[in-house]
């Protein structure tokens, strides 16, 4: 038996034969016998066909993993419209007499290398997206057929890396799990794996001789067993059966209340990125939407979305949720979320820079268009507004003033509006220290534990080299959460958690004992969280 370790993307067990995916490199001739005009015509035709394929992939991903995750294929399509990318291909064809295949492959390699050299971990991960897009165009130009990574039988796929398109195109009935040598926990492929509930390991130094061998992928213990001993195989088969039973039991929790054994009720809401994700919320019986990441509307647009465009999206979500709470976080762009049309300057420390509420309060035309859209949507459901990256009373008062200004403009137009609850994200140590004062300005807090952990520990959460130092359970983080809950409650302000810690079942009891009122998680995490809540008895002393 061989044992190899890696980093788990999703807890779970997969058992089956390993299939080592050896990607065939498309050979590209450098010199062309055609004219530059003919080669560029081939390139343009291939780009159009690639965009058609990406639109089909988007539709497939939309159905399987929701709009937020499907958006990667819209981004891929936008890459094919990028002027710098197109100009680079044209330059190589015209100046070097190269084939379109060679020009696209070279441009893809150069752009991918530029992303890989960036310090920001999120941008590094985009190198895979550039290779994915360029490889698609090269395959079309060369007439290469798409490879079947899995074959006819269900298997655990093993590869150096997988692109988002390869992951989405696979037959999920045959994909038991996957193992890669490279990749990061923040890559789009990893995100897709979590959303599709596929056990996966990254960073595994695999051997090609594994091909065809029986294996167990143990996502709980971050390892893979190749040719497992009979005793281990039996134990893991039992664990897999238990997982399947638990999944079936979770389905039985739909429509059940989120109430502890001693009668404490907790709100369990969902995080979404766009209107297309609402189906996943309803499918998983979410009690509301605790975090609507509105920045994805901007990231998926070629220009600033208009008030009307945003209103249509917010209205659709509010109506679909049928009276359940919908908390819309205002634009949180900047740092690792960039849209070229904003014209943001390059910053040395973007996570500490011009982002979120700082952009909104200094570019009020953008802010007001969004706030008017939110206020108009409030007439169609229980809509709340939440401001991100607030660190002072002055900021929240300024934001509220702009909101009231928008309300006045809509009144003058005779536009109907509902009551809108106002809240803020608690994401920085400064906000925690100011929680007493901030709680007197708003109706609710939502703890963004991802950024709160990053800023408190002074660790870039997207830098894989710092994984060993990153501790989301650090006592300082837990103390800050408790302090925020207590300050909020003293001033009649309810407090929720919308960061990843909200779905950490090892902390659920801790949060409820602190008095946390609401937990907002990804839709697939709702039912496991409900099960955990219903198993707790807070009247008993916690186990030490």
Q: Which of 360, 406, 493, 498 is catalytic?
A: 498
Please tell me the predicted confidence (pLDDT) of residue 10. 73
Tell me the C-alpha distance between 192 and 509, whole Å.
29
Nearest to 55 by CA among 35, 81, 74: 74
Nearest to 135 by CA among 20, 21, 26, 22: 26
SS3 152: coil
- Between 12 and 191, the more confident residue is 12
Which segment of 141-150, 272-281, 391-400, 405-414 scores lowest on mean pLDDT?
141-150
One-character DSSP codes across 26-90: PP--SB-SS-HHHHHHHHHHHHHHHHHHHHHHHHHHHHHH-HHHHHHHHHHHHHTT-HHHHHHHH
What is the share, in percent, of the chain residues with pLDDT greater than 70?
Answer: 92
Tell me the C-alpha distance between 209 and 228, whole Å.
15
Please tell me the predicted confidence (pLDDT) of residue 123. 63
Tell me the C-alpha distance between 248 and 134, whole Å.
42
SS3 261: coil
194 contacts 10 by C-beta, under 8 angstroms: yes
Sign of CA dihedral 254, 450, 194, 132: positive
pLDDT at 160 over 90: no
Please tell me the predicted confidence (pLDDT) of residue 286. 92
> Residue-wise over 36-58: b if at least 16 C-beta within 10 A, else e?
beebbebbeebbeebbebbeebb
Please tell me the predicted confidence (pLDDT) of residue 495. 98
Tell me the C-alpha distance between 290 and 522, whole Å.
10
Tell me the C-alpha distance between 504 and 481, whole Å.
14
| Band (147; pLDDT cuts 50, 70, 90) | low
Catalytic residue list contains 188: yes
pLDDT at 511 over 90: yes
Name, in order, each residue with C-beta under 8 angstroms of 44's C-beta and a sequence gap of 6 or more: none
| Band (537; pLDDT cuts 50, 70, 90) | very high
Please tell me the predicted confidence (pLDDT) of residue 382. 95
| Band (24; pLDDT cuts 50, 70, 90) | low
- Extract the tokens encoding 59: 């539709």
Angle of helix 100-116 versus helix 36-65 axis, rounded to 10: 50
Nearest to 467 by CA among 475, 457, 477, 480: 457
Q: Which of 188, 360, 406, 493 is catalytic?
A: 188
- Count CA atoms within 13 Å of residue 82 on its CB side: 19
Please tell me the predicted confidence (pLDDT) of residue 526. 92
| Band (328; pLDDT cuts 50, 70, 90) | very high
- Extract the tokens encoding 293: 């990441």
Catalytic residue list contains 493: no
Nearest to 269 by CA among 65, 498, 452, 488: 498
Nearest to 294 by CA among 373, 408, 399: 373
Q: Which of 137-151, 181-195, 508-522 has the highest mean pLDDT?
A: 508-522
Residues 218-240 pLDDT 10s: 988 889 999 999 999 999 998 88
| Band (161; pLDDT cuts 50, 70, 90) | confident
Tell me the C-alpha distance between 370 and 366, whole Å.
7
Please tell me the predicted confidence (pLDDT) of residue 424. 97
> Residue-wise over 327-363: b if at least 16 C-beta within 10 A, else e?
bbbbbbbbbbbbbeebebeeeeebbeebbbbebbbee
Tell me the C-alpha distance between 297 and 313, whole Å.
9
| Band (242; pLDDT cuts 50, 70, 90) | confident
Please tell me the predicted confidence (pLDDT) of residue 465. 76
Tell me the C-alpha distance between 27 and 349, whole Å.
41
196 contacts 65 by C-beta, under 8 angstroms: yes
Tell me the C-alpha distance between 52 and 68, whole Å.
20
**Mean predicted lDDT score pLDDT of the chain:** 87
- Between 469 and 87, the more confident residue is 87
- Count CA atoms within 13 Å of residue 129 on its CB side: 24
- Count CA atoms within 13 Å of residue 256 on its CB side: 20
pLDDT at 186 over 60: no
Please tell me the predicted confidence (pLDDT) of residue 360. 92
Residue with tokens 């909020």: 488
Residues 352-387 pLDDT 10s: 877 889 999 999 999 999 999 999 999 999 999 999
């Amino acid at each position: 038996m061989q044992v190899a370790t890696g980093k788990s993307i999703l807890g779970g067990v997969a058992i089956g034969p390993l299939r080592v995916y050896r990607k065939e490199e498309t050979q590209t001739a450098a010199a062309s016998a055609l004219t530059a005009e003919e080669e560029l015509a081939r390139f343009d035709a291939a780009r159009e066909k690639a965009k058609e394929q990406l639109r089909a992939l988007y539709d497939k991903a939309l159905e399987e993993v929701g709009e937020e995750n499907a958006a990667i294929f819209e981004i891929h399509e936008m890459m094919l419209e990028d002027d710098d990318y197109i100009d680079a291909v044209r330059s190589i064809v015209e100046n070097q007499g190269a084939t379109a295949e060679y020009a696209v492959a070279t441009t893809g390699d150069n752009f991918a290398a530029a992303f890989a050299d960036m310090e920001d971990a999120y941008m590094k991960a985009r190198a895979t997206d550039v290779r994915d897009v360029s490889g698609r165009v090269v395959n079309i130009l060369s007439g290469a057929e798409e490879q079947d990574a899995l074959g006819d039988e269900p298997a655990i796929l093993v590869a150096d890396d997988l692109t988002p398109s390869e992951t989405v195109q696979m037959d999920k009935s045959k994909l038991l799990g996957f193992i890669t040598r490279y990749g990061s926990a923040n890559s789009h492929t990893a995100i897709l794996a979590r959303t599709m509930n596929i056990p996966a390991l990254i960073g595994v130094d695999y051997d090609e001789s594994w091909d065809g061998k029986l294996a167990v992928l143990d996502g709980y213990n971050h390892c893979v067993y190749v040719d497992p001993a009979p005793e281990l195989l039996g134990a893991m088969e039992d664990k897999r059966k238990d997982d399947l039973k638990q999944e079936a039991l979770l389905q039985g929790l739909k429509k059940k209340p989120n109430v502890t054994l001693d009668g404490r009720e907790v709100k369990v809401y969902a995080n979404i990125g766009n209107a297309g994700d609402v189906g996943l919320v309803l499918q998983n019986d979410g009690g509301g939407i605790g975090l609507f990441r509105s920045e994805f509307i901007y990231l998926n647009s070629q220009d600033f979305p208009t008030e009307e465009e945003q209103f249509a999206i917010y209205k659709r979500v509010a109506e679909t949720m049928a009276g359940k709470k919908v908390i819309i976080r205002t634009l949180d762009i900047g740092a690792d979320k960039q849209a070229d049309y904003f014209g943001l300057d390059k910053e040395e420390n973007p996570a500490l820079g011009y982002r979120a509420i700082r952009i909104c309060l200094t570019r009020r035309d953008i802010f007001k268009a969004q706030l008017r859209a939110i206020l108009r949507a409030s007439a169609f459901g229980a809509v709340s507004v939440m401001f991100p990256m607030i660190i002072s009373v002055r900021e929240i008062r300024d934001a509220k003033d702009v909101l009231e200004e928008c309300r006045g403009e809509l009144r003058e137009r005779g536009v109907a509006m509902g009551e809108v609850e106002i809240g803020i994200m608690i994401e920085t140590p400064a906000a925690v220290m100011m929680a007493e004062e901030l709680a007197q300005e708003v109706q609710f807090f939502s703890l963004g534990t991802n950024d709160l952990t990053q800023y408190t520990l002074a660790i870039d959460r997207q830098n894989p080299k710092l994984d060993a130092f990153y501790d989301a359970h650090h006592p300082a983080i837990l103390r800050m959460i408790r302090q925020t809950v207590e300050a909020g409650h003293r001033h009649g302000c309810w407090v929720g958690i919308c960061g990843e810690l909200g779905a950490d079942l090892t902390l659920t009891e801790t949060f409820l004992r602190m008095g946390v009122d609401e937990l907002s998680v990804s839709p697939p995490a709702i039912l496991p969280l409900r099960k955990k809540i219903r198993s707790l008895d807070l009247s008993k002393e916690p186990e030490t």
